[in-house]
């Protein structure tokens, strides 16, 4: 069975809407939660790909994100192993940082619905083509300045990057196709979270945009399946069970 490693950074932010999309395609996933001290996998050998989810603090905040170096190393392992890597929100920033970008504490928050615009680098990219002109929800803390040579495939109307593709099997997305109104409610209630000051207005707009959000999620997953061959099961190392023989 196809099995993806999923790195979760807060209790509130999980695969959300994307979970059912993957389950319909017989794609399994295993959560790893470094924010509660859980170790992350040391290799990509048992997984078909990697998802990195949203978070509550900028990448530059070492107090709240001490695991950033480990995650950057994990991204490198999966990229070297030719496994798909998909980052959402904070995960998208991690992808851009690992690709050579520079982490920034500002803006402290980037939260709201924006219109995605395909760039020249996005021509022919199924994800950029599908979302060109669509409203998407951005929710991210801090930022990453892209390195020279890495052009975004999607930007907003102000030219700020929304999606990058460092290589054929890797995406970094600042918008949140997994998000649903209930998750925003959980973010508000989570004691250790750091919600943006406009989270209430964002929740109200998400409720009004709910149908469109579901359509965007479907388009995103369909595009990722096409571009990254998510339905393909990668060769994984066998898991051995050692049993003692008794007479």
- Residue 85 backbone phi and psi in degrees, to 5: -130, 125
Tokens of 201: 């207005």
pLDDT given at position 159: 97
Tokens 């209430």 label which residue? 200
Tokens 């997984």 label which residue? 47
CA angle 106, 109, 111 (to 5 degrees): 140
pLDDT given at position 243: 46
Burial 118-150 (b: 16+ CB within 10 A, else e): bbebbeebbbbebbbebebbbbbbbbbebeeeb
Mean pLDDT per 10-residue interval, the chain, length 247 residues: 94 96 91 93 93 98 96 97 97 98 96 98 98 98 98 98 98 98 98 96 98 97 95 66 44
pLDDT given at position 233: 83
Task: Give the orientation angle of helix 90-98 with respect to helix 68-80, to 10 degrees.
Answer: 70
Q: What pLDDT, in 10s, does the model give residues 113-134?
A: 999 999 999 999 999 999 999 9
Q: Which DSSP letter does residue 99 get?
A: T
CA distance linking residue 162 with residue 63, whole number of Å = 26
Hey, CA dihedral for 31, 41, 137, 222, is it positive or negative? negative
Q: The whole model's pTM is what?
A: 0.93
pLDDT given at position 42: 86
- Domains of the chain are 2-228 (3.40.50.880)
pLDDT given at position 246: 44
């Amino acid at each position: 069975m196809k099995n993806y490693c999923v790195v979760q950074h807060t209790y509130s932010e999980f695969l959300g809407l994307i979970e059912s999309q993957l389950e319909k395609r017989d794609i399994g996933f295993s959560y790893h939660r470094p924010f509660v001290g859980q170790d992350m996998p040391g290799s990509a050998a048992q997984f078909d790909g990697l998802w990195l989810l949203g978070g509550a603090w900028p990448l530059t905040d070492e107090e709240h994100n001490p695991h950033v170096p480990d995650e950057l190393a994990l991204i490198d392992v999966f990229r070297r192993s030719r496994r798909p890597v998909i980052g959402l929100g904070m995960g998208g920033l991690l992808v851009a940082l690992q690709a050579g970008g520079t982490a920034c504490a500002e803006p402290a928050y980037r939260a709201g619905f924006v219109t995605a615009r395909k760039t020249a680098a996005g021509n022919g990219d199924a994800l950029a083509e599908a979302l060109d002109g669509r409203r998407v929800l951005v929710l991210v803390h801090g930022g990453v300045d892209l390195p020279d040579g890495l052009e975004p495939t999607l930007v907003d109307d102000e030219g700020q990057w929304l999606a990058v593709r460092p290589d054929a099997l890797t995406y970094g997305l600042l918008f949140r196709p997994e998000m649903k109104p209930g998750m925003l409610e959980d973010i508000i209630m989570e004691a250790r979270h750091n919600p943006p000051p406009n989270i209430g207005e964002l929740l109200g707009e998400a409720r009004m945009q709910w149908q469109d959000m579901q359509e965007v999620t479907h388009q995103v997953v369909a595009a990722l399946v096409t571009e990254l061959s998510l339905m393909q099961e990668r060769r994984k190392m066998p898991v051995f069970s050692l049993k003692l023989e008794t007479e």
